[in-house]
Structure 1
Amino acid sequence: MSAPPSKSLQASALSFVLLSIGHTIGGKEWTAEKSFKAIANSRPWACGTVGWYQGSAFFVVTSLLHYQWSLNPTALNDPINKTMASIINILLWASSAWYAKHGVKENALVVGLSAALQAYAVFKA
């Protein structure tokens, strides 16, 4: 007998879709800044640009993973799945703290909220 779908994991999956959209929009904003355009065609410009959009793709893949877990929450009993969830949660909290430390308050708040939702969904009793 399988467990019923997890609404909290579905909510977490949705939060990652929203993070991806916001992350992509944010990337378009900061890459349009004069100071960023001034380093165009440099290594930092290339790495910063592609890395940012890789981050957006990471959020989509993470959303799919959480949606898959939502359909079968018992999959999180597997140590590999639990480890992946833990790494994702650590990454979210670290990113939120980094944004906060550097004054990017909106990103810190949104990523922190997603981290809290993800932690609740994955680690609830």
Structure 2
Amino acid sequence: MSVAPSRSLQASALSFFLLSIGHTISGRQWTAEKAFKAIANSKPWACGTVGWYQGSAFFLVTSLLHYQWSRDPTALNDPVNKAIAGIVNILLWASSAWYAKNGIKDNAVVVGLSAALQAYAVFML
């Protein structure tokens, strides 16, 4: 028996792909700021830079995972997959709240929208 692909999970996969690209572009912008350049070659500079790009890779891997789930949505019946999806969703909402608290409204909105889409795609199946 074949399972129909999930359009909402495909949309969620696309949103994570776009987050990965946007996250990378954003990283290039803030690492070019004078205040960040002033701490070049320090531990905070090294950790901040590599951590940011690890975040971009996380979004890309999460995009691939959602795409895989979109091809077989029954995979989300597995408690481990559901737990992964739940952790990702909590991370998105927490990040959105953090951005909002710190006045970075555009990031807060984009990440929050992605969180809502992901929650719908994963938990409304």
Pairwise same-fold verdict (TM > 0.5)? yes
TM-score by length of 1: 0.99
1:92 aligns with 92
Q: Deviations over 1:50-96 (max 9, x none)?
A: 00000000000000000000000000000000000000000000000
Amino acid at match of 1:56: S
- Alignment RMSD, CA only? 0.6
Aligned length: 125
User: Could you list the runs of 4 or more consecutive aligned residues of structure 1 that deviate by over 6 angstroms after TM superposition?
Assistant: none
In 1, the alpha carbon distance for the partners of 2:53 and 2:94 equals 19
TM-score by length of 2: 0.99
Alpha-carbon shift at residue 27 of structure 1 (Å): 0.2
1:115 aligns with 115
Where do 5+ consecutive residues of structure 1 fail to align?
A: none
Where do 5+ consecutive residues of structure 2 fail to align?
A: none
In 2, the alpha carbon distance for the partners of 1:17 and 1:83 equals 21
1:31 aligns with 31
2:63 aligns with 63
In 2, the alpha carbon distance for the partners of 1:3 and 1:81 equals 17
In 2, the alpha carbon distance for the partners of 1:2 and 1:56 equals 33
In 1, the alpha carbon distance for the partners of 2:119 and 2:47 equals 30
2:44 aligns with 44
Alpha-carbon shift at residue 2 of structure 1 (Å): 3.2
1:10-25 matches, cutoff 5 A:
10-25=10-25
Amino acid at match of 1:55: G
